[in-house]
Amino acid sequence: MVVRVAKTAGFCFGVKRAVSMVYEAAEKYPGRVYTMGPIIHNEQVVEDLAEKGVRVIDDSLLDEETGEAPPAGSVVIVRSHGISREMTERLGESGYKVITATCPFVSKIHDIAAKKSAEGYSILIVGNPGHPEVQGIRGWAGEPCAVVENAEQARALSLPKERPVWMVAQTTFQVDKFEELVEIVKGMGYSVRVTNTICNATKERQTESKELAGISDTMLVIGGKHSSNTQKLYEICSSMCERTYYIQSPEDLESVVLHSDSCIGITAGASTPNTIIQEVLSNVRGTEL
């Protein structure tokens, strides 16, 4: 059995930075730390932080478990996905100590959306409309603004034709699909300007995963079930390797049949801790005959 692990698998810069900030805050402000939504889309990390006293609040600034507002003196951390301008202002007026862990690459998109909207452009965001990163970007864009995720939505776009369009992308969107949607919108008669805001780590991870899947008999994609970037990796790998499995932890390997003469490829989403990748790797190697 040959087992290869993608070099780009696991935490990206923005996620690693955000998680580190929460752990540091949990130690510095014990029992007082809250995050705006789960800090990352990984259940194991969120559960570990909960054991250290970190709680999660929703967009109403209420504890997701109790429905109560955090007490005065609490510390609220903005996660790597970022939040809208309105939510940023609400937090600033809340009286809580606010720590911003928004990924710098996401903050850059906020700046682009706000600036270009003020200059008279319609903002078109390419990404998952239900994802917190996209919702945060949407909250900085002003009007007119639209979000598209696929070709069908792009062809149904109804932004005013008299205004130029500025296109940006969710940082973890699939590169080739973004390029496809840009061409579709350009072909609809809009005056289009584009800033490709897919982060380099995402591009490198997608490219390496595609190449690895192309030379593997079986591909394992590790990540949380709510992780958008892991889902994109799974789609890419599935297109290259028929036996591609989406797993969250070593326990999920029970449903995967591995053979002694197989070539196994392993990649992981940006919110997957290295400890889980190593556990999966150890379990896979433990099946060698």
- Residues 231, 222: contact at Cβ < 8 Å? no
d(CA 176, CA 195): 15
CA dist list (Å): 110 to 121, 136, 143, 225:
14, 8, 14, 26
Ranges of H-type helices in 123-174: 132-141, 151-155
DSSP class of 230: H
CA dist list (Å): 77 to 2, 13, 82:
42, 17, 10
d(CA 12, CA 26): 21
Annotated catalytic residue within 47, 51, 93, 133: 133
Which two structure tokens, joined as six digits, stand for 268? Answer: 């992981």
- Residues 84, 110: contact at Cβ < 8 Å? no
d(CA 98, CA 94): 9
Q: What torsion do the CA atoms of 177, 244, 19, 96 make, to the nearest 10 degrees?
A: 60
d(CA 74, CA 86): 20
133 is catalytic: yes
Catalytic annotation, residues: 133
